[in-house]
Amino acid sequence: MNTVVLTIIIFGILILVHELGHFILAKATGIRVEEFAIGMGPKLLGIKHGETDYSLRLLPIGGYNKMSGMESEQENDEKGFNKKTVLQRMMVISAGSLMNFLLAIVLFVLVFSFIGVPANSNIIGDTIAGFPAEQAGLQEGDQLTAIDGEPVNDWVELTQIIQNNPERPLTITINRDNELSEVTITPQKDPETGLGLIGIRDSLMTYDVWSGLKLGAERAVSILVLIVSSLVQIITGQAPAEVAGPVGIVQMIGEVAQYGIGTVFNFAALLSLNLGLINLLPIPALDGSRLVFLAIEGVRGKPISPERENFVHLIGFTLLILLMILITYQDIIRIFN
């Protein structure tokens, strides 16, 4: 599939799920949602159902819920956002990120229970066209039991030997249908990493749905902890700020797509976790900053004036756009270099 199309599909799903979280909680708390939009800019498609206009817009770079009561001229609408309690409004704002976390878990469960994860065995899952393994006649299901007479028991052991011997002939012992044979294969050298490659993939294993759910939740939590830890290290100067923008992410999606649907799902889950967590950061124009304003309102007993809050969000949005332009520029420079 074309990389750009795949990128639009992935981001479209992430944005749809995020905005759907806001929408569901808004409806559940009785807030009037005037428009539920995917994309930005001019409207391409739209349908009116009840009090909500559902629309698809031209630019696939975001989405939004237009809720009554979020503008000063709608302050008297009894179904407005501003008429709900602080807790209800905080639930609506945080629901987008929570849905992104849930989506990540669902994607991980699909990988663990239906697509499969590497089994770390010495059995070939499949071969890559044009690489030495395929040219030598290796097949899916072949068990590679030894290299140069040294037994290999798992995928890590197998690939370490191959990667450490680029452009050096290796004698590989194969068990196919309980019959042993030997074949000599010379790993080709990866021009970027210098590692040896013969073009094989590990076999996959799946778990029952309950185990997949447990493993998916554990993986989502561990990645969230890792992201938070990385952000802290970046903020404190303990680690460099290595951030990818839209161009960099498109490139990464193109790379992971070469390794199959399971890798794409894993990467999409990682993006969903990042989107959900970053949106909760107290940065103006993001959901996190709105939660901060609501928390201040809860403490002081009255809201900050909409004009001041909107001004802060406007400044934050402008800075985010400038930062995105800078990151995109760095992505392009890095790719060309």
Is 19 an annotated catalytic residue? Answer: yes
Q: State pLDDT tens for residues 192-225.
A: 889 999 999 999 999 999 999 999 999 999 999 9
**E-assigned strands of the chain?**
33-49, 52-67, 117-118, 124-127, 143-147, 150-151, 170-176, 179-185, 188-189, 196-197, 200-202, 204-205
For the chain, give the mean pLDDT: 89
pLDDT at residue 124 greater than cutoff 80: yes
CA-based nearest residue to 68, from 55, 77, 59, 58 = 77
15 close to 38: Cβ distance less than 8 angstroms:
yes
When computed from its CA atoms, the radius of gyration of the chain, rounded to whole angstroms, is 25
pLDDT of residue 245: 63
Structural domains of the chain, with CATH: 85-116+207-337 (no CATH), 124-205 (2.30.42.10)
Taking CA atoms, 137 is separated from 201, 253, 292, in Å, by 15, 30, 61
63 close to 38: Cβ distance less than 8 angstroms:
yes
SS3 state of residue 114: helix
Q: State pLDDT tens for residues 167-184.
A: 999 999 999 999 999 999
pLDDT of residue 257: 80
Q: Could you say which of 19, 75, 167, 218 is catalytic?
A: 19
Q: What is the pTM of this model?
A: 0.85
pLDDT of residue 61: 78
Buried/exposed 131-141: b ≥16 CB within 10 Å, e otherwise = bbbbebebeee
